[in-house]
Structure 1
Amino acid sequence: MSSSSHLSLQQLGWRPFFQQQINLDEYDTCLFCRVVEQHRSKIVVESDQGQFDIRPSNNADPICVGDWLLINKTTKIIERSLERQSVFQRKSPGSKVDTQLIAANIDHLIIVSSLNQDFNLSRIERYIAVAKDAMVDPIVVLTKADLCENNEEVTNKIHQVQDLDAMMVTLAVNALAYSDLEQLTPYCKLGQTIAFVGSSGVGKSTIVNTLLQTESMKTGSIREDDDKGRHTTTHRALKSLPQGGLLMDTPGIRELQLTECETGVNETFSEIVALAKQCRFSDCSHQTEPGCAVQRSLANGELDPRRFNNFQKLIKEQAFNSATLAERKEKDRNFGKLINAVQNESRLRKKASNDIVVKFQIHF
């Protein structure tokens, strides 16, 4: 966002949900700021008074792009963050046991997948589960339509995605053609915030540049050996759209592990959940048990084996990651109690020692 012209709070996405969280004193002493950029050592915030940098303290609550913060007008120190209307998070990549925030207060999550070798229904389902868990409607955009050999290939893949959720908007576009991306206009209106997710190189930054009609994010060419782009976005940022809304681009997410996302997974695979309720046994694992409605549907060809296998994979993954995170939190709590106990014991010993010294001095 440009600091040369100030955006109104409405343009930044301010709405009654956030306004209702403010008390009278805060109206006088605080700026209402939205986090528009996040870097390693600082965040950039925007208010109706302009844009400036903030370096959060080490003990501050986790902050992500899209958050609303109350910042003291005089000291420019963060007073507090407001409750989020929606938040996207994932298990931190690698072996680290933690949750990583991705974006907050998003209205529409646009899932980008290319129509080349990157096209993967199971990956799309993963993103849909994250969107539904955050109570945000997903929109699937299939890129590189101009590189497909024929329209039949494009139509077939659109139908495959729509079969995942008949009510979900699915678009096929040439990311370089602004006329194609005008299909996204209804989701880019004043006060609305859209976010993009998808693997590296599928065209997210190209869509950003085309919608903004600028080279705001660098993009790389396609590697010929595997059809994957050289994605060069290095930080998350909100950008002001000509249509009045805000747009967020995120670095490529190659590893999106689910945590505490059971509701989103169940909603994404609602037909399997409905079938499971028809099984003879309430604890049916849907493998070899008699009277299993899921296995019967698989045998009849009514349920896609790929979809069922992905459902089981995502349910197990989110359950394992959630349990691991809960175990880590419990260990941290116990360790904190141990530290407090040691510190209290140390203070008591020091006090007892001081009391002995005082008594000794009085005696002599």
Structure 2
Amino acid sequence: MNYSSDSLARARVCEAAQEHFCLRFEDGAECDAAPAGALRWSAELPAVGDWVRARRADATLALIENVEPRTTCISRQRPGGGGEQVLAANVDLIAIVMGLDGDYNLRRLERYLVQAAASGAEAMVALNKMDLCAEWPARLACVRAITSNAVALSAHESVAPIVEVVRGRTVVLLGSSGAGKSTIVNALLGESRQATQPVRESDSRGRHTTTRRMLIELPGGGALIDTPGLRELALWAGQDSVDDVFAGIAALARQCRFHDCAHAGEPGCAVSAALKTGELEPARWASYQKLLAEARYHERSVDQRAAAETKRKWKVIHKAIRHHPKYNR
């Protein structure tokens, strides 16, 4: 395969599956692509939403030479451990889609919001299927007590509450299977582009209708990144992101008499006092503790990985020096 020797062309990754990619170039052309050798062995392969520089072989194939620095990045810990998995890059808005049926779960929502806070992008919550839930106003109020940027809709009937929010922006849709992400995509596109399937009545869970992450351009400008439903979202975020989402609890902790207060009944503990008076909900406090512990573990793990990688690099350098002719005379 002969690749063009001309200057590299800028393109955006619109699909990604292991080492197979689809690129959309700035002239509108699309083609399949593979990473160049040096990029293939790097720690960071391109993700959907990435801007890359690629060399075209012909109209159907290109070689990705490098990835441009990301402005934002939504990630999670790879299932089973093993480091970071980038879900989408260079997004302006993370739309967390949650059904108002059996999918409704405030504790899971808090987890999504912490990960969104670590991304650098704006986040909003779209509560879908309001036509199936008579209590949707109360549930919307509960969500807005956690984050003010939340709307309720029924994607089968209208997506008017989010049309102007997504216009001209790159938006990634995140949520569980069956939450209605693909239905929202089809409604915004005005056509049935993404396949949809009914959810199980027993638990309101759906099967994976979307099987890969893909970027789809919107008719009125902007783009949507549809993603498969997430069965788990292990945090790839630090303590600051947890405190951003639980700002009220973080503020309470700063009011404690002792700087190292463990919030376990110590004298002058503002958190314990808030729990006693009902100002702080026990379930939200438990969620904060769980996510904070996970974030702290993540920070320790990242530090250990960074130290191990630095040690490995210096080991390679020292080995090269020992075997260099200049030092073996």
TM-score, normalising length: structure 1: 0.81
- 8 Å contact from structure 1 (residues 97, 328) kept in 2: no
Tell me by how many angstroms 1:332 deviates: 3.2
Tell me which residue corresponds to 1:164. Answer: 146
- 8 Å contact from structure 2 (residues 75, 86) kept in 1: yes
Match of 1:63 among 46, 53, 66: 46
CA deviation string 1:98-142 (max 9, x = no partner): 111111111111111111121111111111122222232221111
- 8 Å contact from structure 1 (residues 66, 238) kept in 2: yes
Give SS of 2:87's match: strand
Q: Structure 2 matches for 1:317-332, cutoff 5 A?
A: 317-332=294-309
Tell me which residue corresponds to 1:86. Answer: 72
Counterpart Cα distance in 2 of 1:329 and 1:133: 19
Tell me by how many angstroms 1:254 deviates: 1.7
Tell me which residue corresponds to 1:241. Answer: 218
Tell me which residue corresponds to 2:24. Answer: 46
Instruction: Tell me: CA distance 1:229–1:73, structure 2 relative to 1, closer, same or farther (3 Å).
Output: closer
- 8 Å contact from structure 1 (residues 32, 68) kept in 2: yes
For 2:32, the aligned partner's letter is: D
For 2:153, the aligned partner's letter is: V
Q: Structure 2 matches for 1:107-256, cutoff 5 A?
A: 107-148=92-133, 150=134, 153-165=135-147, 167-168=148-149, 170-177=150-157, 180-190=158-168, 192-256=169-233
Q: Structure 2 matches for 1:288-327, cutoff 5 A?
A: 288-327=265-304
Tell me which residue corresponds to 2:248. Answer: 271
Give SS of 1:88's match: strand
Identity, % of aligned pairs?
Answer: 35
- 8 Å contact from structure 1 (residues 196, 248) kept in 2: yes
Counterpart Cα distance in 2 of 1:201 and 1:74: 40
Tell me by how many angstroms 1:90 deviates: 1.1
**Aligned alpha-carbon RMSD (Å):** 2.2
For 2:116, the aligned partner's letter is: A
Q: Structure 1: which 5+ residue stretches go unaligned? A: 1-27, 356-364
Counterpart Cα distance in 2 of 1:74 and 1:40: 20
- 8 Å contact from structure 1 (residues 70, 78) kept in 2: yes
Give SS of 1:273's match: helix
Instruction: Tell me: CA distance 1:97–1:48, structure 2 relative to 1, closer, same or farther (3 Å).
Output: closer
Instruction: Tell me: CA distance 1:210–1:308, structure 2 relative to 1, closer, same or farther (3 Å).
Output: same
Give SS of 2:97's match: strand
Counterpart Cα distance in 2 of 1:310 and 1:66: 31
**Worse overlay, 290-299 or 226-235:** 226-235
For 2:281, the aligned partner's letter is: D
Counterpart Cα distance in 1 of 2:312 and 2:116: 34
Counterpart Cα distance in 2 of 1:216 and 1:39: 19
Counterpart Cα distance in 2 of 1:129 and 1:294: 20
TM-score, normalising length: structure 2: 0.89
Instruction: Tell me: CA distance 1:80–1:41, structure 2 relative to 1, closer, same or farther (3 Å).
Output: closer
